[in-house]
Amino acid sequence: MVKKSILYIFIYTLLVGCNTQDPLSGNECETDCYLDVSAPSLEIDVNGYYHIEWLSGYYQTFSTLDATTGTDEIVKVMWDSDSGIYYGDDWISSVNHASYTSDDGIAHTVVAAWEEQLNDTITVYAWYWDKCDIGYVDSIKVVVDNEI
């Protein structure tokens, strides 16, 4: 019985999709329902991992990331990573923590790699909430290569 209930809830969620009631106005919300994070200036391998090449002689190596939201409304996109460094007593993440979309629906941030992260994989997470208060999450993996 519990399995059937879970199945029915799952099917209902698929059928209803992202149209939902706006809790403030009672009107049905329309939303494009996605978040796609990418690193357009980095190479991507067959496993879907992006690769950033460490620039020898620098303290950090940078690249930009994009979060495509599919909406023309300005939304705040939050970012975090599972990697970074300690600088003094402070933890410094490999990404900036927030950005806003422009009128094209794309938010940008910067991923930074430090020498301590050579040959590591950085997982970058992004998320936002749409006008219907539905949350979207996506992530990518960035390998810090040192092939020079």
Six-digit token pair at 21? 């009631």
Average pLDDT over residues 112-124: 96
The label of the residue with tokens 């794309």 reads 106
Write the burial class of residue 70 (CB in 10 Å: 0-12 exposed, 13-18 middle, 19+ buried).
Answer: middle
Cβ(50)–Cβ(143) below 8 Å: yes
Mind listing the pLDDT tens digit for each residue in 79-100? 999 999 999 999 999 999 999 9
Indicate if the pLDDT at residue 8 is higher than 60.
no
pTM: 0.78
- State the average pLDDT over residues 21-27: 55
Encode pLDDT of 34-71 as tens digits.
Answer: 999 999 999 999 999 999 999 988 999 999 999 999 88
- For residue 18, the 8-state DSSP code is T
Please give the radius of gyration of the chain, using alpha carbons only, rounded to the nearest integer.
19
Percent of the chain as helix, strand, coil, to the nearest 5: 10, 45, 40
Quick one: tokens of 23? 């809790």
CATH number for the segment(s) 33-145: 2.60.40.2550
Interatomic CA distance for residues 116 and 19, integer angstroms: 45
CB 33 within 8 A of CB 25: no
What distance lies between CA 132 and its chain's CA centroid?
Answer: 19
CB atoms closer than 10 angstroms to residue 58: 11
Per-position DSSP letters for 7-33, written without gaps between them = HHHHHHHHHHTT-EE-TTT-SEE----
